[in-house]
Chain A
Amino acid sequence: MRLAVTCIFALGCSATHVAAVDDGDAGPRVRATPEAGADDGGDAGSGFCAKRSPRATFCDDFEAATLGAAWDLVQQSPPGLAARDLAAFVSPPASLTVTTKRLGPGDLGSIFLRKTVTGTASRAVLGFDVYADDPQPEGTLAIATLDLSLDHLLTLYLLDDDPVSRARR
């Protein structure tokens, strides 16, 4: 079983295709204001964020002892749990682990960190490392969103693309 990525746009979605392009990322960054909380504990330390060049507009490597210190909101609507994981990470000393609990049909679970960066931009790049087990064959699981504005939204879903388990639905 593998995972899949799907994008859903509220506006302007057109035909999907795959093409090879340059992965370059050159150009000046918009610097977040201090009020936006761009400089979390990870930036101030010696981890991924501190070493990244050029520095990101916003970055969190979960080096800070307090989960969500750089974020506007840590949402843990029951059932679920968000915590720092000191045992598994890409860059030490920690990652973010999110655990959901069993949900019934139609139930919602929201365990996420949210950040808004004040300002305008013509291009935005959201990046993260993710470690996910096989997704579930039922329900839906969104792992990240990038909202450019109130009506221009992008959501990444993990999907079970195993035809056997999907056929059981």
Chain B
Amino acid sequence: MPPAGTWTRIEVEVDAAAGLATVRVGGVIALRTGIAKAPAIDPTIRVGALVTGPASPYTLRFDDVTLDLFP
């Protein structure tokens, strides 16, 4: 997951109050884990490719990037 060669929606949710991080792939939970309870301060996101070699050429696409923050 996500399946190769198709568009797939991925959501990463971090609930600092509850101490939970959840990753959804295509609306289905792929991972849920406990994390330290610490509020987000000036959160930063990155999308793209951070690659460590050895690696062959690779292409991936992104669309409709959203960040929702809740008080």
Contact = CB atoms under 8 A, between A and B. Distances in A.
A153 B15 CA distance: 13
Interface in A109-128: 109-128
A142 B25 CA distance: 16
A119 B69 contact: yes
Interface string A1-45: 111111101011111111111010101111010000000000000
A14 B46 CA distance: 24
Which of B12, B21, B55: most chain A Cβ within 10 A? B55
Given A62-B63, A113-B47, A121 B7 contact: no
Given A105-B53, A130-B7, A141 B65 contact: no
A148 B45 contact: no
B61 A130 contact: yes
B67 A125 contact: yes
Query: Secondary structure at chain A's binding surface: helix, strand, loop or mixed?
Result: strand
A2 B23 CA distance: 17
A165 interface: no
B68 A139 contact: no
Interface size band for B: 35 or more
Contacts of A115: 44-46, 67
A64 B7 CA distance: 21
Contact of B46 (A59, A97, A112): A112
Interface string A141-166: 11111111100101110100000000
Interface size band for A: 35 or more
A133 B57 CA distance: 11
B41 to A, nearest CB: 5
A122 B16 contact: yes
A98 B31 contact: no
A5 B53 contact: no
Contact of A122 (B10, B21, B70): B70
Nearest to B11: A127
A91 interface: yes
Contact of B55 (A14, A25, A136): A136
Interface of B: 1-17, 19, 21-25, 27, 29-71
